[in-house]
């Protein structure tokens, strides 16, 4: 009936329930003493298994009480037979207990196996996740490298595109000094400038800081107030003002000091011993609980008789209800006949309504049929109109495409004719130049043959030198061709081997480099040429 509060957990302060001492009267064996093996935490509080054990012990004591005395041979044989039967029952019960224990152990083993399988699956999933993370990191690193190379190549292409025509530009000093990102303010190390080369020139070297004599001289030059510390005693705080009032801070300090002193006194206070009880208190024993009623199981014959009586009651009640309904029907027979006559009079009106309804339905079906025919006619007309319009639009679009193609072909023909004429003019000019050169060479050859002997000897020497030089050039050209063919075969073999080992990612990198190195500059050149032609 009293509530208490403790600084400890209930689990730490909990003890076993109190077991009072007892005295057993002579000649009596209480049933409670047979449960002395059950203690708190080991069978108590009692569960289903303990209740079954208690029931089996009661049955065994009742069986032991029914055993016959061993005063004759027939009683001994009967006792032995009863004991054999009980032993068989006990062995059967023990086998059942063992089977239950094995089933429980099997369930525990299944749970353990299932837990181990789940842990293994989690471990496998974690390993796969780590492997996938490593692949993702490698992939991201490759993508970063490709993006870095792409940015580098783009910068190179942009730098090349700025000066596609290869014109030389004069240095603009004013622009360099106005742009703080130029080489004047932030030179690159790849050009040859290293800012950390002569960093020792910025190191501070002082005589007063690096030598002992300089430190002594610096210390002597300092005033005494730096090296000698002066300590002043603190002034006492004034708790009262000039007018005699106590300050608020002083009042708070006094209150805090009082509270601190009270806490110390309460903490160091000695506990007083408990006073003994002046009078003994009587402990009333609780009222014993009434015995639990036990319901006896009825016999099978009684149950069957009870079910037969219930079935007979149902039949009688049903027959009684049928008789009541028949009697009520006989009483209200005149009212039933009157209702039947009124219903017969209403049948003519119902027939008229049905005829009107049928006529309305027929008119509605006829109207629906006419609307269906009109919709079919409109659909056919719309289909024919769409076919005619589609054919007309198709013909017009094809004519437009034919005219456009015809104009394009005419323009191509005119351009080809113009190029042919220009080439013919160039070829005719080239042919005239060759004929003029051939005539000059023939004149030179004739003059060389008609010269004197010395001139003839010089001409022969020059002729032989020309033959030797031409043969050397031909030989060198043939050797160079053979060497180039051999190198081409080797390069092809290496290229085929690299292509066989190359992955999809490397192929994409090569294609990207080809695009950035060849296609983009060529497209830029073509755009510049077209702009020049247009201008």
Q: How far apart are the first and last CA of the chain?
A: 111
Angle, helices 300-331 vs 333-449, to 10°: value is: 110
pLDDT of 455 higher than 60: no
Q: Are 523 and 163 in contact (CB under 8 A)?
A: no
Span 464-481, pLDDT tens digits: 888 888 888 889 888 888
Confidence at 190, pLDDT banded by 50, 70, 90: confident
User: What pLDDT is attached to residue 341?
Assistant: 72
User: Hey, what are 130's tokens?
Assistant: 């780590």
Element (H, E) at 39: strand 39-40
Sign of CA dihedral 518, 523, 524, 526: positive
Q: Which residue has the tokens 């730096």?
A: 226
pLDDT at 275: 66
φ and ψ at 172, to 5 degrees? -105, 100
Non-local (6+) Cβ contacts of 219 within 8 A are 227
Q: How far apart are CA 367 and CA 369, in angstroms?
A: 5
Residue where the block lists tokens 């106590």: 246
Taking the CB of residue 335, how many other CB atoms lie within 10 A of it? 9
* pLDDT greater than 80 at residue 394: yes
Per-residue pLDDT at 278: 62
pLDDT surpassing 60 at residue 253: yes
DSSP per residue, 441-473: HHHHHHHHHTS-HHHHHHHHHHHHHHHHHHHHH
The CA angle 288-292-296, to the nearest 5 degrees, is 160
Structure tokens, 530: 């077209």
What pLDDT, in 10s, does the model give residues 54-112?
888 888 888 888 888 878 888 888 888 888 888 898 899 889 989 999 999 999 999 99
The helix (H) or strand (E) run that includes residue 43 is strand 43-44
Q: How many CA atoms lie within 13 A of 515 on its CB side?
A: 8
Q: What does each C-alpha distance from 243 to 23, 240, 252, 262, 443 come to in angstroms?
A: 86, 8, 19, 32, 141
d(CA 74, CA 77): 5
**Cis before 45 (ω within 30):** yes
Which run of H or E residues covers position 51? helix 48-65
Sequence-separated (6 or more) residues with CB below 8 Å from residue 502:
510
Phi, psi of 293 (to 5 degrees): -70, 145
Distance CA 412, CA 418 (A): 10
Q: What is the pLDDT of residue 204?
A: 76
Name the region of 487 (left: φ>0; alpha: ψ -120 to 50; beta: rest).
alpha
Query: Which residues are registered as beta bridge partners of 44?
Result: 40
The per-residue pLDDT for 115 is 94
% of the chain residues with pLDDT over 70: 90
Q: Where are any strands of DSSP class E within 286-363?
A: none
Contact 459, 451 (CB under 8 A): yes
Q: For 155, phi and psi rounded to 5 degrees?
A: -60, -40
Q: pLDDT tens digits, residue range 339-357?
A: 777 666 567 767 877 888 8
Of 34, 44, 43, 83, the C-alpha closest to 63 is 83
Lowest mean pLDDT among 15-29, 108-122, 378-392, 516-530: 15-29
In angstroms, rounded to a whole number, what is the distance separating the alpha carbons of residues 119 and 92? 40
425-434 tens-digit pLDDT? 888 888 888 8
Distance CA 38, CA 35 (A): 6
Confidence class of residue 453 from pLDDT cuts 50, 70 and 90?
very low
Instruction: Name the pTM for this structure.
Output: 0.27
Scored b (16 or more CB within 10 A) or e, 267-292 reads eeeeeeeeeeeeeeeeeeeeeeeeee
Q: What phi and psi values does residue 285 have, to the nearest 5 degrees? A: -80, 145
DSSP string, 197-239: TTGGGGS---HHHHSHHHHHHHHHHS-HHHHS----PPPPPP-
**More confident: 177 or 449:** 177
């Amino acid at each position: 009936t009293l509530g208490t509060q403790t600084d400890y957990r209930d689990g730490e302060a909990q003890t076993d329930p109190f077991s009072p001492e007892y005295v057993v009267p002579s000649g009596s064996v209480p049933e409670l003493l047979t449960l002395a093996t059950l203690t708190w935490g080991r069978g108590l509080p009692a569960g289903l298994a303990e209740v079954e054990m208690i029931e089996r012990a009661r049955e065994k004591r009742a069986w032991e009480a029914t055993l016959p005395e061993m005063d004759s041979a027939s009683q001994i044989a009967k006792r032995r037979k009863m004991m054999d039967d009980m032993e068989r029952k006990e062995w059967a019960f023990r086998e059942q207990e063992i089977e239950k224990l094995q089933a429980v152990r099997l369930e525990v083993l299944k749970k353990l196996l299932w837990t181990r399988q789940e842990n293994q699956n989690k471990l496998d999933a974690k390993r796969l996740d780590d492997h996938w993370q490593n692949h993702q990191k490698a992939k991201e690193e490759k993508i970063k490298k490709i993006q870095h190379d792409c940015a580098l190549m783009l910068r190179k292409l942009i730098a090349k595109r700025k000066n596609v025509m290869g014109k030389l530009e004069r240095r603009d000093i004013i622009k360099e000094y106005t742009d703080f990102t130029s080489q004047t303010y932030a030179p690159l190390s790849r050009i040859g400038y290293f800012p950390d080369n002569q960093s020792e020139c910025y190191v501070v070297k002082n005589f007063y800081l690096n030598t002992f004599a300089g430190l002594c001289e610096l210390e002597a030059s300092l005033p005494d107030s730096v090296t000698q510390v002066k300590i002043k005693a603190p002034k006492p705080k004034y708790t009262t003002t000039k007018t005699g009032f106590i300050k608020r801070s002083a009042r708070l300090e006094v209150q805090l000091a009082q509270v601190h002193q009270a806490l110390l006194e309460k903490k160091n206070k000695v506990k007083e011993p408990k006073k003994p009880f002046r009078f003994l208190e009587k402990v009333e024993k609780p009222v014993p609980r009434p015995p639990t009623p036990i319901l006896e199981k009825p016999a099978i014959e009684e149950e069957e008789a009870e079910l037969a009586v219930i079935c007979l009651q149902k039949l009688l009640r049903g027959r009684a209800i049928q008789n009541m309904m028949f009697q009520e029907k006989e009483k209200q027979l005149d009212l039933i006949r009157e209702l039947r006559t009124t219903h017969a009079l209403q049948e003519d009106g119902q027939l008229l309504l049905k005829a009107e309804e049928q006529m309305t339905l027929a008119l509605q079906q006829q109207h629906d049929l006419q609307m269906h025919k009109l919709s079919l006619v409109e659909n056919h007309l719309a289909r024919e109109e769409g076919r005619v319009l589609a054919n007309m639009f198709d013909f017009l679009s094809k004519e437009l495409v034919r005219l456009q193609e015809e104009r394009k072909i005419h323009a191509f023909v005119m351009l080809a004719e113009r190029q042919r004429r220009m080439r013919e003019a160039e070829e005719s000019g080239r042919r005239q130049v060759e004929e003029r050169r051939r005539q000059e060479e023939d004149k030179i050859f004739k003059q060389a043959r008609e010269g004197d002997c010395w001139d003839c000897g010089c001409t022969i020497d020059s002729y032989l030198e020309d033959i030797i030089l031409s043969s050397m050039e031909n030989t060198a050209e043939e050797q160079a061709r053979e060497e180039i063919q051999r190198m081409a075969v080797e390069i092809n073999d290496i290229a085929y081997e690299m292509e066989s080992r190359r992955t999809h990612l490397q192929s994409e990198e090569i294609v990207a480099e080809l695009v950035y190195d060849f296609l983009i500059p060529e497209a830029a050149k073509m755009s510049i040429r077209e702009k020049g032609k247009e201008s």
